[in-house]
Amino acid sequence: MTTLTLVHARYQLLETIRIPIALIGSAFFPAASMLFFVVPFAGDDPVAATYATASMVTFSIMVSSLFTYGVGVADDRSQPWDGYMRTLAAGAAPRFAGRILAGMAMSLVSLVPVVLIGALFTEATTTALGFLLGIATVFVGALPFTLMGLAIGYALPLKAALVVCQVIFFPLAFGGGLMSAPDQAPGFIQTIAPYLPTRGAVELMWAAVGDYSPHATSLVAFAAWTVAAGAVAVWAYRRDEGRRFR
C-alpha cells in the first residue's frame, strides 16, 4: 500500500512538472497580492505584516488545493488512462492517497514565493514554534479546499470544473477576510466571513504565527464545511465510479 501510494504520488508530481503552469498559477496570485498590497501598505508593521503574510499563505493553500484537485481530477477523468487505472487490482486507495500526497507537496511549493517575499521585503516575524505550527496548520487549513476540489473534479467535466474553480476562489478569499487585517474588514465582510471556510482556515493560521484567538463560530463553520465537502466528494466519486462501470 505504501509503495503503491508513493508510486502514484511520483507519477502525479512528474505530470505536474512536465506542464507546470498550474503550479505557477497557484503561486502567482498570492505572491502578486503580497507585492502589490502587503509590501507597500503593511510591510513596515511587524504585526500587520505577519498577519498579512499568514493570510496570503492561506490564500495560496486555497487556490492550490482547488485547482490541483478540482481541475486535475477532472482532467484525469477525461483521459482514457484513468479508466484503465481504475481496473487495476491495486484498487482506488493507493491512487487516491498518492494524489493527496502530490497535492500537498505542490501546495507547499506554491507557498515558497509568499514566504520569501514576507521574509525579505516585510517586517513579518514569528517564533520557531510559530513557524512549525504554521506548517502544521497548512495541512489542517487545506482540508476543506482539498475536499471541495475533489468534489468539483469528480462531479464536473474539465471545462466546467475550471470555470467553477475560477469563479469561487476570489469570493472565498474576499468574503473570508483574507484581504484585510484581523477583525478590521468592512461591515458586510465581517458579517459573512465567520461562515466561510476561508475564515476558519486563516484564523487558525493567525493563531499559529501570532497572538490571535480564533472565534468559535469560524471554527464550527470550518468543521462543517469540511464534513460537507467530504460528503459531496464521496458522493461525486461513487457516482462517477458507477457511471464508468454501468
d(CA 164, CA 152): 8
Cβ 151 vs Cβ 74: under 8 Å: no
Q: For residue 149, is pLDDT > 60?
A: yes
| Stronger pLDDT, 185 or 225, i.e. the higher one | 225
Query: pTM for the whole thing?
Result: 0.87
CA distances from 137 to 67, 187, 192 (A): 20, 27, 23
> Of 16, 28, 237, which is closest to residue 147 (Cα–Cα)?
237
d(CA 141, CA 207): 12
Confidence of residue 195 (pLDDT cuts 50, 70, 90): very high
The chain-wide mean pLDDT, for the chain, equals 84
Cβ 166 vs Cβ 240: under 8 Å: no
Residue 83 is predicted with a pLDDT of 61
CA distances from 51 to 61, 184, 243 (A): 15, 12, 46
**pLDDT average, residue stretch 81-107:** 70
The beta strands (E) that lie in the chain are given as none
Q: For residue 182, is pLDDT > 70?
A: yes
**pLDDT average, residue stretch 158-176:** 91
Residue 42 C-alpha cell reads as 503593511
